[in-house]
Structure 1
């Protein structure tokens, strides 16, 4: 089993897993018969997925989770029916869906996992160029504190760091569909899906993170359909 595939359980390196799946799918596409390596990959993924780190996967965009799991189901069905004339096509489709989902997950993770809290503050300031007061309100801090994070040595810590990371993950979804002003409005508007609460009021509740990310993701992917 490759090191990349072993990282699937904790999603420590989704981009590497995506690259490995893409490599295998290219082999399938260039071979007259499905290589044994491809069937082995799907079989090994089955054993890996039994031990998924649920807490880690719960922080992932629900849409991308669904794409990945649909792709896995297709590849698994192909594995169980290797003699079926449609197995090769189903395998390639499933592998590509998984590759795409993991690649997108990796890109999203770079925003919140690959940057320090201070770097995330600067990223937010650049991506959402609104008055600092509006962005600091979403982050739940005074403007002066936000300015110190941007320009001086202090950095977000504790609950502040968590809130910055959550906001960055959500903004990374919303920025594809809204203007900067629209992004801020999304955080401040009561939503029926949240029982009339504003998204920004739930930003420090870890248990609400998947739901908030899911709502933001739904905006992005509804635009794509």
Structure 2
């Protein structure tokens, strides 16, 4: 029996012992979203120390929720993938998000702004289906963010994963998006709309009109 155990046979209590440790649900969110590499997981949980991330991955591996596989073509590198038990947690993680979206006050959820996390989430959640069949570069500017996190580039190419850069990739920009960080976070979370932000002047879009719409 581990320290801190609920000491109950109830399945809810037993599951909570595995999933209730700090950062575990957030880490599972990243795994469910498709991140498999240690560095990608770190980008999804930037406030989690590397040592704690490594420990939580080991805990999930011991629990049979995650397995560590050799990375194809990269000797010594590994990927972390959900097992059958881990994949069954997908609807639970989604339910956490749905509940939070519905019941956690937007003002409370917007108290912890993080440009890096926002852009990483946008990178994996961007719907690229309506975008042109060519490379498209979108630059985001957050004038109120810390200097190191004010400029971001999303690069969308046909049949390729969306790429995210925090340093100018050197490509011509198709669309410039300027917004304060809070406004963009509220839009991404569904609390505000692009149309409302444009009308109020809290956001500006400059460039390719097909991307702007």
TM-score by length of structure 2 reads 0.25
TM-score by length of structure 1 reads 0.24
Q: Of Structure 1 and Structure 2, which has the larger fraction of its residues in helix?
A: 1
